[in-house]
Amino acid sequence: MAARLRFIEFLYATTLASLFSGIGYDTAFAKIRPFEFLACLCALFALPLLARRVPRGALLPLPVLAFFAVHVISAFAVNSSNGARELIQIAAVCLFVFPFLLTFERLDRRAFFRFFAAEIVIIVAVNVGWHLWNGHTFGWKLLNDPKSAFLLLPVLLVAALGTRRPHHVVPLTLLTLVVVVMSGERKAYLVALVALVISYGLLNWRTVATVALAVGAVGLFVLYDPNTYLAHQVFSLLAPDLPTNILELSPTSTVESLSNTERAFVFQIGTQQFLLHPILGVGTNNFDTITAALYSFLPAYLLVGIHNEFFRVLVENGLVGFVLYFYAWASAFVRIKPAGLARRLFLGFADAQERIRLCLFSACLIYCLFESSKTLTFIALVIASRIDLLVPMHAKNIAIAVARTAVPGKRLRVGYRVGGEARP
């Protein structure tokens, strides 16, 4: 039985990691990926583990299920092939998610996350190696799905900071920051910033000084040579420079940032389409068809879809879909108990599970805010909505940490001395 459980943990981790692999075969109907086949295997092998009584909190929240239904119905309203494609995609997601959530409490969470972390690191290493082999020193973003794995590196760092020995903290932090910065993935920059902010209680002064020196070195490098790719990515994130009139661009026009220009164009046209169809939207995946028909004279990089799942839902599924989608995220945010968590983070004694939970939630949210609709955006919503099941808080540890704050001179695990001078 133990071997069977280890295999299922490995199968779950591999199924989830396959979404970052980029492996697939494009057909006229849809892209065939390993995820769909692995999801079927998950359902098959998890059947003997399913209990007669459903564990509390193991099912998806009602707003998530309702949003999935609206998404598929809206796709069928466009045309039957579009609806069938989205139905298969949502079915594959549910085929993986339901067995995963129903059996997760019976599995070893640490073993699952170790498998998943190892596979993500392998995907990142292969992605970086491929880019270096092809002469790309910076900007490891040419492979669409593998680049999303960079967002998970800061999450893995937060998890590692709570378990590794002190002399491992500095090299892990530096290695993660170097890989994330050189990747050029701006979404990963934001997740890394969140990870550093919420992990300060686990970092001693040596680590903070090392990180400060590394950030300062990157800043000096950017200021010294502002024409490099790295400087371009930083400036495009902090101070985006957009064309005055995007609709006058020609295929030969040059812009400062293709991504920022595309997002500005999508916001402009998407707002117009939403005002025309505010209740039910233009239909799932129909925005791309509309823009391709009306603005075929514009450069191709402007016609790649909406890179913001919240805005896409608002435009394509209208207020009906947006209310459900927003409510699902709001409910997930409430589950991480933000008020108490913020207070404990500020005091420096937040539980390690709380930090992991907040960083993972932030990674999922940032991904959906800056990425186009795909299976991974649905999985991100599911992870955020059931993050209390995936990363449970240890109330006993939190209670002990809170009690220790009332004992003068008592050294806390995170390196603070209550009632005296703060020391590492």
What is the band of 344 on the pLDDT scale with cuts at 50, 70, 90?
low
* Assigned domain for 139 exists: no
- Given a cut of 90, is residue 72 above it in pLDDT? yes
Q: Is 13:121 a contact under the CB 8 Å cutoff?
A: no
Least confident of 53-62, 196-205, 349-358, 411-420: 411-420
Q: Is 242:264 a contact under the CB 8 Å cutoff?
A: yes
Q: Quote the pTM value.
A: 0.85
Q: What's the whole-number mean pLDDT along residues 167-191? A: 83
Q: Is 388:335 a contact under the CB 8 Å cutoff?
A: yes
* Assigned domain for 388 exists: no
Provide the residue range defining the domain that includes 35: 1-107
| Tens digit of each residue's pLDDT (9 = 90 or more) over 214-260 | 677 666 666 665 556 666 666 666 666 677 777 777 777 777 777 88
* Assigned domain for 31 exists: yes
**What whole-number percentage of the chain has pLDDT above 70?**
76
pLDDT of res. 334: 86
- Given a cut of 70, is residue 394 above it in pLDDT? no
> Which residues does 178 contact at the CB level (< 8 Å), separation at least 6?
214
Helix (H, G, I), strand (E, B) or coil at 303: coil
Beta bridge partners, 417, equal 411
Residue 285: CB atoms within 10 Å: 20
CA distances from 377 to 90, 93, 217, 316 (A): 11, 11, 34, 15
Residue 225: CB atoms within 10 Å: 10
Residue 114: CB atoms within 10 Å: 15
Q: How far apart are the first and last CA of the chain?
A: 45
* Assigned domain for 97 exists: yes
Q: What would you report as the CA-atom Rg of the chain, rounded to the nearest whole angstrom?
A: 23
* Assigned domain for 56 exists: yes
| Tens digit of each residue's pLDDT (9 = 90 or more) over 10-35 | 999 999 999 999 888 888 888 889 99
pLDDT of res. 275: 94
- Given a cut of 50, is residue 398 above it in pLDDT? no
Least confident of 65-69, 167-171, 301-305: 167-171
pLDDT of res. 296: 85
Of the two residues 347 and 159, the one the predictor is more confident about is 159
* Assigned domain for 39 exists: yes
- Given a cut of 70, is residue 107 above it in pLDDT? yes
CA distances from 56 to 12, 51, 53, 64, 328 (A): 20, 12, 9, 17, 18
- Given a cut of 60, is residue 299 above it in pLDDT? yes
* Assigned domain for 49 exists: yes
- Given a cut of 70, is residue 118 above it in pLDDT? yes
* Assigned domain for 409 exists: no
SS3 content of the chain, % helix, strand, coil (to 5): 70, 0, 30
Beta bridge partners, 52, equal none
Q: Number of H helices and number of E strands within the chain?
A: 18, 2
What is the band of 201 on the pLDDT scale with cuts at 50, 70, 90?
low
- Given a cut of 80, is residue 329 above it in pLDDT? yes
pLDDT of res. 66: 95
Closest C-alpha to 93, from 166, 19, 144, 28 = 19
Helix (H, G, I), strand (E, B) or coil at 26: strand
Q: What's the whole-number mean pLDDT along residues 124-151? A: 91
Size (the chain), residues: 424
Burial of 4 (0-12, 13-18, 19+ CB in 10 A): exposed
The domain tally of the chain equals 1
| Spatial distance between the Cα atoms of 54 and 263, rounded to a whole number of angstroms | 43
Secondary structure of 50-70 in HEC code, one letter for each residue = CCCCCCCCCCCCHHHHHHHHH
